[in-house]
Amino acid sequence: MFNILKNKCARLLIILSALVFLVFYLFFCPHRLPSTPAPLAPNAEDIHVVFNIDENYAKFLSVTMISILQNTDEHLHFHILTNGLSASTLKKIEKLKKIKPFELDIIKINDERIAQIPDYVNITINSVANYRLLTASLLPDLDKIIYLDADLVFQSNIKEYWHIDVNNYYLAAVADPLNGHQEKEWFHDLPLPDKSLYFNSGVPVINLKKWREDGVENKFFENSAKYAKLLVLPDQDILNITLSPDVKYLNLRYNFTTELRFSDAKTKAEFAEKALLIHWAGVLKPWLIPGNLKAELFWHYAEYSPFYPEIARIYYVSVARLLFKSLFG
């Protein structure tokens, strides 16, 4: 019994020592924001990017924004759909203009507008994810936007995304890798047209003009009510039901998801190197789980974020819990 207690105490001491070191690093971490912003291209294009987040996800959004800013010299307009952001959070986001100038548009949403959309079964995702369904009416002066989840980073110029032609489509997106496999998935029960693939809605290029012309926003709510019992990922499922088959399917490099199945580690790594962006879709986030594919890229950009101490603190606490659980059950 004494030896068991001794071993547990030793393990606990190791964990505490590691945490002390990490906290020390946290408070002396590098501050990488430049003193003056980098210039835009002489004939910079206007690129419009839309996010939907709540206060808790703003810190991770900053990392996505930094990766975009550092990989382009175009004129970026960021539109954030939110249920509210604090003054201190907005101040930190504004600091990112030290990297490169950009326009910032904060659109506060009343949740009553999406009250009839079913909530996510997954408690880590809240109703804010459904705000993207309102994009066409919230941004009436824009004909085209790039929508992005806030759990990804770019490793190439977003300009290539912007140049994707969606004139004859509702959107362009990457088909879910599960399409065509024998494994039973929930989306097989959705009323998708023949030959339509189920797509990931985390990184679409959207033709807002066509959305408005065809009244798809009303159709979103109609389909939400009609197929409520079939929806597992409500906003993504509704987008698939409503917009298929007028979808332009892109190859995997335009939305490389790290939880890619049906592929060995070597193949996944090769895909990741060629991808325009790395998307940590699912529950395995680099700020929660050590050893994620391409996690070093996330942390590279995170070090430029004014939210870095908060992001690092979340990671250290998560790692400590995982270590404690693995050691003591």
Q: What distance in Å separates the CA atoms of residue 138 and residue 6, rounded to the nearest whole number? A: 61
Residue 164 parent element (H or E): none
What's the Cα-to-Cα distance from 227 to each of 127, 128, 135, 234, rounded to whole Å?
Answer: 17, 20, 21, 10
Q: Which two tokens stand for residue 14?
A: 């190791």
Three-state SS letters, 127-139: HHHHHHHHHHHHC
pLDDT at res. 124 = 47
Give the pLDDT of residue 18.
57
pLDDT < 70 regions, the chain: 1-31, 119-126, 178-184, 260-264, 329
Domain locations in the chain as residue ranges: 46-318
pLDDT of residue 116: 82
CB contact at 8 A, 216 and 264: no
Each residue of 135-190: pLDDT tens digit? 999 999 999 999 999 999 999 999 999 999 999 999 999 998 766 554 567 787 89
Strand order in the sheet with 277-279: 152-154, 277-279, 256-257
Supply the DSSP string of 61-118, one letter for each residue. Answer: HHHHHHHHHHT--SEEEEEEEES---HHHHHHHHGGGGTS-EEEEEEE--GGGGTTSP
Q: Which residue pairs, CB below 8 angstroms and at least 24 apart, start in 34-43?
A: 34/98, 34/99, 35/98, 36/98, 37/97, 37/98, 37/99, 37/100, 37/101, 38/73, 38/99, 38/100, 39/73, 40/73, 40/74, 40/75, 40/100, 40/101, 41/73, 41/74
117 — phi, psi (to 5°)? -75, 130
Domain 46-318 has CATH 3.40.190.10: no
